[in-house]
Amino acid sequence: MTFIDLGVLLAVGALWGASFLFMREAAPVLGPVGMTEARVLLAGLCLLAVTAALRRISDLRRDPGGFLVLGALTAAVPFTLIAVAELRITASLAAILNATTPLFALLVSSIRQRARPSGGQFTGVLLGVVGVAVLVGLGPPHVDGTLLLAVGASLLAALCYALGGTYTQIRFPGTHPLVTATGQQLGAAVILLGPALALPPRRSPGTGILLAVLALALACTALGFVLFFRMVSRVGPTGALSVTFLVPLFGLLWGTVFLGEPLSWSTPFGMALVLAAVFLVTDRRPPAPARPQDGHVQEHRAAPSRRHRA
């Protein structure tokens, strides 16, 4: 990566980490469903304007049903679940729990491809479970049923992201990332429109809440996705997905600095365990080459390894 690419990577991590802070502020006032609807609708309209400027509107009409499913898996359901969870848990804990997404992605990928995880990946899964247990059992001062349900909602959101990633690979291969993101957000807005109208806010939001929703939709969601897609085009998906390591770090930082959320010794310890688990799970080394059957195969042994690593 160049210094500019690194700066963009840090910006995406900061924006996506801040989304947990804004959700923590807006969800109690607007409600989880209403806040999420405002988020995806504003972000979708913003991305739609960019898509129109690039003259790719016609691409959105090719698979409206697919965009509805994608919007449900990667926006409507997980955004709402995280907003519900943050009615009980801190933004810092919600951001750290979201880092378990690669663990669920490994599980989904292994089931779909019927492939056994490597030893390092299996260790990463176990380490991730321990990390979540440390965060839940030792971090919050009072563990009760409501807290466990909130943690379960956060983990279910992470599972939705993993399922959504697999669905994207199957349903939208070769689709421009901006088109996929626009259809995703608009699809989520359509899905949540009815529930949002049925569950209006209990009181009118103040200026601070409105600004939080605007920042969540336009900065964290719309701008965050545009910058992320820029990274994908410049450094490839592997380099871009390294932002996963930064989101919980920024979520912890913003929650502590701006919301005054408590930081106990178990919080950074549990976060370190989760991030170490993510590192192990995403370390996909190529399988060892098969033993040659005759002398003619020996000279070509290294070639497959280089191709897999490319």
* Average pLDDT, 10 consecutive residues per value, the chain (310 residues): 81 89 91 95 95 91 93 94 91 80 79 75 75 64 81 93 85 86 94 95 89 94 82 63 72 80 75 76 53 46 42
Measure the CA–CA gap between 95 and 151, rounded to whole angstroms: 11
Q: Which amino acid is at 181?
A: A
Is residue 90 exposed (0-12), middle (13-18) or buried (19+ Cβ within 10 Å)?
Answer: buried
pLDDT of residue 303: 44
Give the count of beta carbons closer than 10 Å to the beta carbon of residue 309. Answer: 9
Measure the CA–CA gap between 187 and 197, rounded to whole angstroms: 16
Sign of the dihedral defined by the CA atoms of residues 10, 13, 17, 23, in that order: positive
In the chain, where the domains are located: 3-285
Is residue 107 exposed (0-12), middle (13-18) or buried (19+ Cβ within 10 Å)?
Answer: middle
With beta carbons less than 8 A apart as the criterion, state whether 247 and 90 touch: no
pTM (two decimals): 0.78
Measure the CA–CA gap between 72 and 226, rounded to whole angstroms: 20
pLDDT of residue 290: 45
pLDDT of residue 285: 54
Tokens representing residue 53 in the block: 């400027």
pLDDT of residue 240: 60
Measure the CA–CA gap between 36 and 49, rounded to whole angstroms: 20
Cα 23 → chain centroid: 14
